[in-house]
Structure 1
Amino acid sequence: MGTGAEKARPLSDRYHLTSPIGQDGMGIVWRAHDSLLRRNVAIKEIQPRFGEYGADMRDARRRALREARSAGRLNHPAVISVHDLLEEDGRLWIVMELLEALTLKETVRHMGHLPIHWVAWIGFQLLGGLRHAHGAGVLHRSINPRNILLTGDRVVLADFGIAALHRDSGTSTTLPLTHAPAFIAPERLRGGLPTPAGDLWSFGASLYFAVEGRPPRSGHRPTPHGPAAGRNPETMVRAGALRPVLEGLLRRDPAARISMGQAGRMLSAVLHAEGVALARPRLPAARLPPDAYA
């Protein structure tokens, strides 16, 4: 983690770090202030993995550049905005928009599981960001409840740390174990190439987690050929009207999965049946409403 030295001296003579606010698979995220534009931002301090000969700065730099370039080319309310990439004192820093939000994982941990209409709205909004990313040729490859952020009125997909530009043959197919194997598509666990269908499986698995309160698979390790990689999702007991869309997204065969358009229409139908207007979300932020299950 950074020390008081970074907090005392601004990065790039512009960004003042104030306090750490979180951590993901790539590093620590700081709350900071941009003195030039006079706004608060979030800055991710990239922390390289330690290998046999010490920190792998080359790998850290490659991943940081990939995250910044992938997210930086996107502009959608459901995708976190990247403002800048810095390299200073041998370390890398990604400057992003600052969101006052809970992750989907934190929200489910607090509540146990979410109501069907909340999950349908979260899914519908998130699907818009995913459609935008795929349209720009960007695959996320690590969608899971830890990087889905919920504010008072937005659903935001963050952490493009292992994102791939679609059709980029130079991108590794290796999956770090830190990236939530329970939410990775079966074909990816078996060593298959990243595809839009893989992102859709992870998207469906995250919605399953939200409505059921548990991952679609549990108690397994991501072995390339073991039975865990091909296990079907566990039985749904709370999904209700969401069951058809979840079953369609979580099919083991990527060619048999429903499309993004089909998923969007099915989620829209659920929202319509639940009487939820698409333009007026009711999502948890820092405080959860007492009538969440009403």
Structure 2
Amino acid sequence: MGKEPGKQRLLGGRYRLMSPLGRDGAGIMWRAHDLRLRRDVSIKEVQPPFRGGGADLGHARRRALREARSAGRLSHPAVISVHDLLEDRGRLWIVMEMLEALTLRETVGHLGHLPVRWTAWIGFQLLAGLRHAHEAGVLHRDINPGNILLTGERVVLTDFGIAALNGDPGVSTTVPINCSAAYVAPERLRGMPASPAADLWSFGASLYFAVEGSAPYPESGALSALERAAAGEPAPPVRAGTLRPVLEGLLRRDPAERVTADQAARLLSQVLRTEGMVVGPSRLPVTRLPPGPFTM
């Protein structure tokens, strides 16, 4: 990092890097402290991909701007809050709220699979944030269990790095290589543009993973993207119980036959009431947690 031993790096004269939190496909996440507002934040150090033997700084800049602008125009408890975007010594840094959380993927990895009531609660909260994004014209395009954070009180959708504005003709229809085909809607694998319905398919595939303990299609190795696009319906869920109609409605291959966000919200509300949980209007976050913690 180019800093003196024992001395923490200061970004933009304001954010002091403290320790790395982890790495995703686009960069390194850091714990940092905002000296101006005296609060801890998380900061993504956007790392450029290497193309033709060199770093593609233009691609990294476009991705960082897209992520910051897409998430920055949203304000919802189920969407990560972006505070700032800065460039320091030739690198881009995205400043976000600090969350002590596990991803849905990590949580299922610890527990094997989640009970129906937890999965329905996660889905109900996450769907509220996704509907908010769609109403603001933002398509996420990369919903998967690794981009869903669980804090014990909130369910938060993060990583808007390949998000796009709905209807933007300049957005590529190509599925990025780092997207898992298991969570990409069939029509996108066939080259069709992203849409709210495609986000809903990915949302349904993530809920399937939560309650079943595995993705609706193999996550790696067994199927290429083209084979996945031509594959039949996913295996019927066996642990989903009252969630089964929700999953089957969201995972329909034809986007015209897929349930809408409003329909999915009503179905999830019914599941939660059947499970004995009190829920508010479908556009508001649930305020009562399900019985028992689901973070480790």
* Aligned residue number for residue 151 of structure 1: 151
* Aligned residue number for residue 272 of structure 1: 273
Task: Return the alpha-carbon distance in structure 2 between the equivalents of residues 9 and 107 of structure 1.
Answer: 32
Within 5 Å, which residues of 2 pair with 1:19-34? 19-34=19-34
Task: Return the alpha-carbon distance in structure 1 between the equivalents of residues 2 and 121 of structure 2.
Answer: 40
Q: Structure 2: which amino acid aligns with 1:275?
A: G
* Aligned residue number for residue 12 of structure 2: 12
Q: Secondary structure at the match of 1:75?
A: coil
Q: Structure 1: which amino acid aligns with 2:288?
A: R
Task: Return the alpha-carbon distance in structure 2 between the equivalents of residues 81 and 98 of structure 1.
Answer: 9
Give the aligned length: 284
* Aligned residue number for residue 223 of structure 2: 220
Task: Return the alpha-carbon distance in structure 2 between the equivalents of residues 40 and 185 of structure 1.
Answer: 36
Contact 1:100 1:286 in 2 (8 A): no
* Aligned residue number for residue 289 of structure 2: 281
Contact 1:183 1:202 in 2 (8 A): yes
Alignment gaps of 5+ in structure 2: 280-286
Q: Structure 1: which amino acid aligns with 2:44?
A: K
Change (3 A) 1:260 1:47: same
* Aligned residue number for residue 87 of structure 1: 87
**Per-residue deviation, 1:9:** 2.9
* Aligned residue number for residue 113 of structure 1: 113
Contact 2:77 2:129 in 1 (8 A): yes
Change (3 A) 1:244 1:163: same
**Per-residue deviation, 1:235:** 2.5
Task: Return the alpha-carbon distance in structure 1 between the equivalents of residues 34 and 228 of structure 2.
Answer: 49
Deviations 1:216-255 (A, max 9, x none): 00121212xx355443112211011000010000000001
Contact 2:72 2:82 in 1 (8 A): yes
Deviations 1:98-138 (A, max 9, x none): 10001000000000000000000000000000000000000
* Aligned residue number for residue 165 of structure 1: 165
Contact 2:187 2:229 in 1 (8 A): no
Pair 1:204 & 2:212 matched: no
Contact 1:217 1:232 in 2 (8 A): no
**Per-residue deviation, 1:53:** 3.4
Change (3 A) 1:262 1:84: same
TM-score using structure 1 length: 0.93
Contact 2:164 2:171 in 1 (8 A): yes
* Aligned residue number for residue 264 of structure 2: 263
Task: Return the alpha-carbon distance in structure 1 between the equivalents of residues 288 and 45 of structure 2.
Answer: 35
Task: Return the alpha-carbon distance in structure 2 between the equivalents of residues 4 and 232 of structure 1.
Answer: 53
Deviations 1:163-210 (A, max 9, x none): 001111111122222122110000111111000000000000000000
Task: Return the alpha-carbon distance in structure 1 between the equivalents of residues 178 and 273 of structure 2.
Answer: 37
* Runs of 4 or more above 4 Å deviation: 2-7, 283-286
Q: Secondary structure at the match of 2:42?
A: strand
Q: Secondary structure at the match of 1:30?
A: strand
Q: Structure 1: which amino acid aligns with 2:259?
A: I
Q: Structure 2: which amino acid aligns with 1:207?
A: L
Contact 2:119 2:211 in 1 (8 A): yes
Deviations 1:3-60 (A, max 9, x none): 6469633000110111111222211110000000000000000011111131100001
Q: Structure 2: which amino acid aligns with 1:118?
A: W
Pair 1:233 & 2:240 matched: no
Deviations 1:88-107 (A, max 9, x none): 11100000001000100000
Task: Return the alpha-carbon distance in structure 2 between the equivalents of residues 138 and 228 of structure 1.
Answer: 24
TM-score using structure 2 length: 0.92
Task: Return the alpha-carbon distance in structure 2 between the equivalents of residues 229 and 188 of structure 1.
Answer: 12
Contact 1:63 1:161 in 2 (8 A): yes
Contact 2:81 2:97 in 1 (8 A): yes
* Aligned residue number for residue 291 of structure 1: none
Greater alpha carbon shift after TM alignment, 230-239 vs 71-80:
230-239
Change (3 A) 1:166 1:269: same
Q: Structure 2: which amino acid aligns with 1:152?
A: G
Change (3 A) 1:229 1:52: farther
Q: Structure 1: which amino acid aligns with 2:240?
A: A
